[in-house]
Structure formats: C-alpha cells, structure tokens
Amino acid sequence: MEEAVRSDEVTADDELTDGPLAAGTQTLVRTPADADPVSALPDRAFDNLLVVSARDHPNRLQTRLERAGHDPANVGVVPVVPATDEYEGDLWTTDPVNPDDLTGLAMRFSDAMQYVEPGRGWVLTDALGVLLTYTEDARVSRFFQTLTSRVRTQDVRGVYCANPDVIADETYGRLRAMCDAEHELG
C-alpha cells in the first residue's frame, strides 16, 4: 500500500529534521521493522521527550539514547511490555503496562504527560503495530484518537511509528487520518 503524501504537507526531511515542526503537530511515521523509531526525531526532541515504548525495554532505550549523545534524564518512558525486568537507569519511567491493557496505558500516559512541556515537548510512540497484535483495531483506533487529541491539545509534537506492512490498510488509513502529516523512515 503506497499512500502519496498530500501536496500541502511539508516534505519528510523538513518535517522531522530540518524545518520548524509546529507545536501540536501530529505525525504518523511509516517505520520498517528493522528501523530505529528514535532516529525519526530531531535532536531538539530529546530535551523534553516522552516515549510510549512497546518496542524496547527502558535499558535498551537508554543505551540507544546514550550512543546518540542524548541525556536520558530528559526522556520519560511508558514501558508497554508483557513482562519487564526492573529498571534503575536515568530515564524517568512509569510502571510497565501490558499491551492489551489500553485503559492502564491511557492512565500511565496521562500521568506522564504532566512532565511534557507545552509548546516544547515531544511524544514518541515507537510501535503501534504491537498494540494491534494484542487488541482489536477499533479499540486501538479509539485509543490513538484519545492520545493524539491529548498531545495536540497540550501543544506537544507527536510522532507515532507504525509498520504499514503489519497493519491492515483500513486501520492504517484511520490512524493516518488522525494525524497532520506522514513521514517515511528508511
């Protein structure tokens, strides 16, 4: 499924790396399975970032951030994992939540958003496909609508990674419709 980027959208390079992405903008990122979702973000995002991580344990995420020269103390994580080891690193984290518990995820996300600064902060969801593996499409779409609305209302930039190869075209289209822009991570 190839979806053309609308002509009124900023190009992918300008959108997330070079240009001034307006506060409150929500971007869906087409992310291949082998890509690192964190690499979709510009350096300025790491000054105040919340990651909803269904892909990586906080230990692994911290290692990636440190290798890229970012301060983990500026990054918060809502770990979305079926089971997790204890984490005692520099990232600020919520309690882990299972990927089939969208209510628990919404509660932890809501609590964590108090640390994301309006107009300056960023939210990254690294693997929407994982949620779709554990929960039906309609529930994930409703959750995503709540998530993007909350982030947009708080004037925070949202970046949501999804692998379109593992998500039904109709569901991907619904997720895309809730965002302002689309980017492809190579």
Single-letter amino acid code for the residue at 111 = D
What's the DSSP call for residue 18?
A: I
Burial of 81 (0-12, 13-18, 19+ CB in 10 A): middle
Helix (H) or strand (E) holding 184: strand 181-184
pLDDT of residue 87: 83
Bridge partners (DSSP) listed for residue 157:
122
Contact 108, 77 (CB under 8 A): no
Which among 51, 68, 56 has a CA at the least distance from the CA of 115? 51
Q: What is the pLDDT of residue 85?
A: 67
pTM, whole model, 2 decimals? Answer: 0.88
Three-state DSSP at 34 gives coil
Res 116: pLDDT = 97
End-to-end CA distance of the chain: 16
Q: Which residues of the chain have pLDDT under 70?
A: 1-20, 82-85
